[in-house]
Amino acid sequence: SSGINAEWPLRPGEIKAEANGSTEVKSEVKAEVKAEVNTEVKSEVIDTTNVEVDPGVSGRIIKQLEYYFGDKNLPQDRFMLREITLDEGWIPLLTMLNFKRLANICSDKAKIAKAVEQSGSDLLVLNEDKNKLRRNPNKPLPRDNEETKAVANNKTVYVKGLPLTWNMDKAEEFFAAHGKTCYVKLRKNQDTKFKGSIFAEFADQADADKFLAAKETLKIDDKELIVMGRNDYFKSKNQNMKDEKNQKREEQLADTKPTVIENLEYEKGRVIQIPGLEDLDTTREAMKDLFEGTGLAWVTYNKGDKEAFIRFDKSAQEALDKVMVEGKFVLTEKELSPVVLVDDAEEQYWRQAAIEKAEFFKKSRKRKAEGRGGRGGRGGRGRGNKRQRY
């Protein structure tokens, strides 16, 4: 319905809509309307001669009715669009009372008619029997194009930081002190609760400009409000979305970039390499038992690996000497030839260990950020880990 581009007055059963750049009559809407309409509408004459309406209530009635028939609501209100096709734009007051908000303000048709009579509104027209309303035929709806949208957007302001207890009456009271508004929209969350922010379109650009110029002084209960034009709000929001997207992209790129260790520091002579394990049925536990009491710190080995690396808290050569039997190194009943890493081989081991450690903490931080932190990560004494700590 938001795409409807209606001109006033409309003929019965006719709604103009843009389709492929042209204007055509929506015949299916006509059929739907005719199927529901009782053509013999009973007429009722309402006498407002001795009717009195409280000025405050009268003002609220007119404001609400002007909203229903206004430029903002009417083009996209399916119920109103259907009703104005039935009787040359006239809508019975009884029908208008289907709107809960209007009924809550006043449910007396005579008082509503009296309010319209006395209002001097140039938008609302009351019929002779005073039982129907319509939009003034001399005030056609503006065409729905980029120009009219731009004009409306420039007159629309965004306000945030309002009390969550506010309702529409409170919001309208707040804006009424700054000028006449075309519409006020309370922004709500998925639970339909007020979020504390509002979009409001002023009837005049001058009032919108004055409101924005006074934004530094606008407060509720001594609390400063966030105030900006609608266009500035969406620019800011779009920029924030772009920034978040760019940040996420940078994080994803960072995850794919290889970790670089700038300053590598380590104690020399702490690691032995045991090659020739491809055909040996051994385990980390067997290595732990063999080197028990020698200061074993870390074992890098998975069953089926061709080699193992064992790191010690002190001299690897001293640990190796302690487990040698008659100058031989035996693991799981097989004689092997372990070596203490030195020079490039030793540096390569420590660099790889530092990279794996950095990658582990990077993934851990990412899981926590995504709300999936906790136990079950890699490392430690879990099964299937390449590196085992004793």
What values do phi and psi take at 186, rounded to 5? -80, 125
- Give the span between the Cα atoms of 284 and 381, in whole angstroms: 11
11 — pLDDT class (breaks 50, 70, 90): very low
Q: Are 34 and 174 in contact (CB under 8 A)?
A: no
What angle do helix axes 205-213 and 146-154 make, rounded to 10 degrees? 40
Residue the block writes with tokens 């309370």: 186
pLDDT computed for residue 314 by the predictor: 93
Quick check: 377 pLDDT over 60?
A: no
Quick check: 182 pLDDT over 80?
A: yes
- Give the span between the Cα atoms of 311 and 104, in whole angstroms: 80
Alpha-carbon dihedral of residues 112, 117, 122, 124, nearest 10 degrees?
A: 40
Mean pLDDT along residues 71-88: 92
Other C-beta atoms lying within 10 Å of the C-beta of residue 102:
19
pTM of the shown model: 0.52
Per the prediction, the chain carries an average pLDDT of 83
93 — pLDDT class (breaks 50, 70, 90): very high
- Give the span between the Cα atoms of 189 and 43, in whole angstroms: 43
Mean pLDDT along residues 126-141: 94
pLDDT computed for residue 12 by the predictor: 35
Per cent of the chain over pLDDT 70 is: 82
Dump the DSSP string for 128-142.
TTSSEEEE-TTSPPP
Three-state DSSP at 358 gives: helix
Q: Are 210 and 180 in contact (CB under 8 A)?
A: no
Cα torsion 73, 75, 78, 80: sign: positive
Three-state DSSP at 189 gives: coil
256 — pLDDT class (breaks 50, 70, 90): low
Three-state DSSP at 91 gives: strand
288 — pLDDT class (breaks 50, 70, 90): very high
Mean pLDDT along residues 281-296: 93
